[in-house]
C-alpha cells in the first residue's frame, strides 16, 4: 500500500479515449483509408506525400472540434486524482488528443506531441493550430508558407520529454498504465524500467492484457471509464 504523499506516475494510451469516440490505433484492423498508420505517420511519408499526411491529421484534428467527442469518466477521474492526491501525480500520455486537458488535467506530458499544435520546419516554432494544415498554411512566428507540419512525433522520431519521464519513472511508488497495448517503445518499456528500480507497485488497467501485462504486479481488465474512476476512488479513500 502506498502512502498519500507517494509519487504516482500514470501512462495513458489510445484506449483511454476510445469511449470518447476516438479510434484506437490497433483496434479494428488499424487501417486508415487503406493505409497502415505506420505508413502515414512517418517523416518519409510526409516528404513523399505531404497532402496525404496532412489530410490524415486534419481529419483527426477536426474530430477534436466535434462536440460529440468529449472527455469520459476516466479522463475526469485522473484530473480529480491530480487535484486531490497529496503527493505528486505525473500523467504521461502517448495520445495526441486534448481530452485530458479538457477534463481539467493541468500537467499533461505529451510524449508523442499534440494534434492541436503545429510545428514550423523553417523556424522550429510550435503554435496552437485548431484548423486544417496544408501547403498554404503560414507560420505565425516567421510567416513562412507551406512549412507547417503537425507537432506530433512520427515513427522514427524521438518522443518528447524523455529526460523528465526517466526521472519520474525512477522516483514513482505507483506506476499505472491505462489503455495502451504495450507494443510501441519506449512507452512499452516504462513498466520494466520502473520494476528495475524496485520501488513501485505496478498496475495495468486495460480492456485486454497488453503485450507487457506479465511485467505488471497487478492487472485489471475492463473499460477505462468504469475501472479508472473505481481505482481513483479506492486510492482517495486512503487520503481521508
Report the catalytic residues.
112
The alpha carbon of 231 is separated from its chain's Cα centroid by a whole number of angstroms, namely: 19
Nearer to ligand APR, 129 or 231 (CB): 231
* Least Å from the CB of residue 200 to ligand APR: 20
CA 212/CA 4 separation, integer angstroms? 27
Within 10 angstroms of residue 194's Cβ, the number of other Cβ atoms is: 26
CA 118/CA 124 separation, integer angstroms? 10
Nearer to ligand APR, 6 or 24 (CB): 24
* Least Å from the CB of residue 100 to ligand APR: 13
Residue nearest to ligand APR (CB): 15
* Least Å from the CB of residue 173 to ligand APR: 24
Q: What is the 3-state secondary structure (H, E, C) of 57-85?
A: HHHHHHHHCCCCCCCCHHHHHHHHHHHHC
* Least Å from the CB of residue 72 to ligand APR: 8
Nearer to ligand APR, 140 or 186 (CB): 186
Q: How many residues does the chain have?
A: 240
Of 30, 36, 14, give the one whose Cα is nearest residue 112.
14
223: left (phi over 0), alpha (psi -120 to 50) or beta: beta
Nearer to ligand APR, 14 or 151 (CB): 14
* Least Å from the CB of residue 124 to ligand APR: 21
Query: Which residues lie near ligand APR (CB under 6 A)?
Result: 13-15, 18-19, 24-27, 37, 94, 112, 179-181, 183-184, 206-208, 210, 223-224
Nearer to ligand APR, 7 or 182 (CB): 182
- Crossing angle of helices 190-197 and 162-171, in 10° steps, is 40
Of 219, 147, 145, give the one whose Cα is nearest residue 180.
219
Amino acid at each position: 500500500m502506498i502512502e498519500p504523499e507517494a509519487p504516482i506516475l500514470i501512462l495513458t494510451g489510445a484506449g483511454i479515449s476510445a469511449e470518447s469516440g476516438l479510434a484506437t490505433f490497433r483496434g479494428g484492423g488499424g487501417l486508415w483509408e487503406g493505409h497502415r498508420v505506420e505508413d502515414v505517420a512517418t517523416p518519409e511519408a510526409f516528404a513523399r506525400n505531404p497532402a496525404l499526411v496532412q489530410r490524415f491529421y486534419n481529419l483527426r484534428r477536426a474530430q477534436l472540434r466535434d462536440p460529440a467527442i468529449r472527455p469520459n469518466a476516466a479522463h475526469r477521474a485522473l484530473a480529480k486524482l491530480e487535484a486531490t492526491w497529496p503527493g505528486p501525480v505525473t500523467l504521461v500520455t502517448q495520445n495526441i488528443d486534448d481530452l485530458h486537458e479538457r477534463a481539467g488535467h493541468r500537467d499533461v506530458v505529451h510524449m508523442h506531441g499534440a494534434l492541436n499544435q503545429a510545428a514550423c520546419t523553417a523556424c522550429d516554432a510550435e503554435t496552437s493550430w485548431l484548423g486544417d494544415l496544408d501547403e498554404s498554411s503560414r507560420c505565425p512566428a516567421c510567416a513562412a508558407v507551406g512549412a507547417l507540419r503537425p507537432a506530433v512525433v512520427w515513427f522514427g522520431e524521438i518522443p518528447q520529454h524523455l529526460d523528465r519521464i526517466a526521472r519520474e519513472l525512477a522516483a514513482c511508488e505507483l506506476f499505472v498504465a491505462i489503455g495502451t497495448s504495450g507494443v510501441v517503445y519506449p512507452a512499452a518499456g516504462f513498466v520494466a524500467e520502473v520494476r528495475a528500480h524496485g520501488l513501485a507497485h505496478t498496475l495495468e488497467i486495460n480492456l485486454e492484457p497488453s503485450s507487457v501485462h506479465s511485467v505488471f504486479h497487478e492487472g485489471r481488465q475492463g473499460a477505462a471509464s468504469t475501472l479508472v474512476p473505481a481505482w481513483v476512488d479506492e486510492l482517495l479513500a486512503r487520503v481521508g
